[in-house]
Structures are given as C-alpha cells and as structure tokens.
Structure 1
Amino acid sequence: MRTSIVFLSALATSVMGANSTTYTLPAGFNVGLVDSSERSAWCSAQRNTCPDICQDGTRLNSCDSNTLDFSCVCADGSTPDVTPFKQTVPFFVCQANYGQCINSHPDDAEGQRTCKKNAVCGSKNATEEADSSSSSTTTAASTTLAMATSTDSTASQTSSVAAASATTSNPAVALGGDMTKYSTGFMAGLMFVAARMIL
C-alpha cells in the first residue's frame, strides 16, 4: 500500500513538473521582502488571469504564495507565456523588483536609471484581449450571416422581378403583341391579374 502511495505521489509530481510554467525570479529579487498577504494577492490575480490568457479553459492553474511558483497550462496542453500580461506573477515581481532595485541605489542616479531600463513589465490586459477575441468571432459570424441574408434577399428579389416580367409579358404575346388597340378597362383587368399572380 505504501509503495502505491509513493508511486502515485511521484507520478503526480512528474506530471505536474511536465506541465508547470517555467519562470525564474529575476537575479537579486528578494521574495522575503514582499509581505505574505501581498504575495497571496499576486497568486490570486495570477490564477484569475490564466483562464483569460488561455481563453479555452485551463488544465492546470495554480500558484504558491510562499515561493511564487505557479502553473498556467491551457486545456489544449499548451503553456502560454504570461510575462507580457498584467496581473500575473511576473508582472508583480517585475514591479516589486524595480522598487527593490531603486531602494538599493538610494543616491545613485546611474544605478536608478539602470533599474528603470531593466524594468520592462507586462502591459497587456488579458481580459480585454479575451473580450476582443470573442467580439471578433461574433462580428465575423454576424457579417457572414448578414452577407448570406443579403444574398438570399437579392436572389429572392431577382426571382420576383423575373417572375413579374414573365407574367406581364405573357398576355402581350398571347394577344398579338400590340396592347394599344384594347380598351383601358381590359388593360386594368389584365394588370390586376398580373399583380395577383406576382403576389
């Protein structure tokens, strides 16, 4: 029994390791200087952002607030690069690292310039990108539907015009082609019959 538990534990670790996100904290960043409640908030934001980045659901979505190790694996098994996005662990670490860097160069303008240069934090909004992608799909579907409806409507109008043309030309042919010699009453009756056939 104990052997089975150890085996299952090792298997789970192996699977988790294979699907985990590879992210290395920046050199010089001190996790211990970040308050535990703040790290917990970072992890919460990371877990909320991962599904928006994946868009089609997640297979693995976890974050350890003690170490800031996290996993974001999409339903299709892919592991997205979350670094360009706001509200992710790399985003928060980048900002905090910038603050720690500035604090470690209190009277060093050149050192602070280097801190700023190295602080390239994510700027994309995963929620807006997910909404935009969904909106684009909906717009494309609406455009296709509108084009299909327009085509059907045009075809219907064309066939109605063709039918009307065929209907109104038939009496003229049947009566010898010259309608001017017939009375106005007969013409009105003929037009009425033609109109009824169209409708």
Structure 2
Amino acid sequence: MLSKTMFILASAATLVNSQFDPTSVPYATRQAWCNSQTSACPILCLQLPGASGTPTTNTCSADTLLYDCICSNNVIPNASEYSQTIPYYTCTETNNQCVEKCNGDSTCQNDCRVKNPCGAQDPKRVNITTTAKATPTASETPVNTLVNGATGAGPRMASVNMSHVYGLCVLVGGFVAGFATLL
C-alpha cells in the first residue's frame, strides 16, 4: 500500500510539472527554487509521524524542476501544501504568466489567482502544543462582563483594561495639577 501511495504522489508531482514549462523561467531562478525545495524537504519530513529530519532522498533538477523528497519513514510529503517548494513556485509562476496574458483585465487577473490557489488550502496543524485553559469561576464572570462587556475573557483581561483607565486618570490628573501650579 505504501509503495502504491508513493507512486501516486510521484505521478501527481510529475503531472503538475508536466503542465509547466520550466524553460519559461530563467535558469538561475530554477536553481534558487531547487535550493529552496531541497532545504524544505527535511523540514517537511519533520511534520510526518515517525520521520526524522534526514530524508532518504532529497534531490531537485534545475533543468526539469523534477524533485524527490522521500522521508526516513519512506513517505513522500505533500510539498504542494507548503511554500518554498517546487509545486508552490510553479503554481505561483503559472498564475503570474496567466495575469500577464490578461492584458490589464482585472476580472481575468483575479480569476488567474482565485481559480488556481497555491499552497495549503486547509493546512493541518502538526507539532503543536495544547494548553489547558482555566474556565472562569462564577465570581469572575460578572467582573469580566462589567469591565469588557464579554464573559469568559478571564481576570487578566479585566486588569489590563482597568490599567488603561487608571493610567489615563493619572495622566489627566498630572496635566490638571501642572496647569494649577501655573495659575
């Protein structure tokens, strides 16, 4: 099953690259794209369960823009979900070329980008730390409601909002005292 999945993903990457003419971009730009792709591969692998940051394969050809990124767990990350990767660069360049062909027609230009979004459309959050949030007690809720008009903001929010009020009072009081001494 894993090898079949790898074949499908590799075929999809090849299909995407086959729709894009690499020679439409200067060679130096393609080299920079490949450098970014090979730099991104270890980071992409770290996003996968059971993979280290050392891929078993990490190559990119500036001539063809074909790349391989196979992680230590033999999984190919979906590079199209990330920026700084060949799929992202080819997508954005395809959109740029589409916009150029629109001859200033803003509807056409908008369609070029909206109908062909690049990067993650619904990214998965991985490697995040969750923190338990304390639920406000009954005695905290009325204070929150009175101070900032919304319940559940927590006691810290109430004190931050009140500090602005006190600070303003001190500032105005200082001005009044200063003018009183001049008279």
Distance 1:54 1:31 in 2: 26
Distance 1:121 1:18 in 2: 23
Superposition pairs of residues 87-166 of structure 1, within 5 angstroms: 87-122=84-119, 133=127, 136=129
Greater fraction helix: 1
User: The residue matched to 1:72 in structure 2 has which SS?
Assistant: strand
The answer for the alignment partner of 2:79 in structure 1 is: 82
Superposition pairs of residues 22-61 of structure 1, within 5 angstroms: 22=11, 23=13, 24-25=15-16, 29-55=20-46, 56=52, 57-61=54-58
User: The residue matched to 1:25 in structure 2 has which SS?
Assistant: helix
Distance 1:111 1:69 in 2: 30
Q: How many residues align?
A: 116
TM-fit CA distance, 1:116: 1.6
TM-fit CA distance, 1:21: 3.2
Which protein shows a greater Rg? 1
Q: Which runs of 5+ in 1 are unaligned?
A: 1-16, 140-199
Amino acid corresponding to residue 32 of structure 1 in structure 2 = T
What is the percentage of aligned positions where both structures have the same residue?
A: 25
Q: Which of structures 1 and 2 has the larger relative contact order (alpha carbons within 8 angstroms, sep 6+)?
A: 1
Amino acid corresponding to residue 44 of structure 2 in structure 1 = I
* Pair 1:51–1:26, CA change in 2 (3 A): closer
Q: Say what the alpha-carbon RMSD is for the aligned residues.
A: 3.1
User: The residue matched to 2:29 in structure 1 has which SS?
Assistant: helix
The answer for the alignment partner of 1:21 in structure 2 is: 10
Distance 1:97 1:80 in 2: 22
Q: Is the 8 A contact 1:94 1:121 kept in 2?
A: yes
TM-score (norm. length: structure 2): 0.54
* Pair 1:116–1:20, CA change in 2 (3 A): closer
TM-fit CA distance, 1:19: 10
Distance 1:28 1:106 in 2: 22
Distance 2:7 2:21 in 1: 27
The answer for the alignment partner of 1:188 in structure 2 is: none
Distance 1:102 1:28 in 2: 17
The answer for the alignment partner of 1:69 in structure 2 is: 66
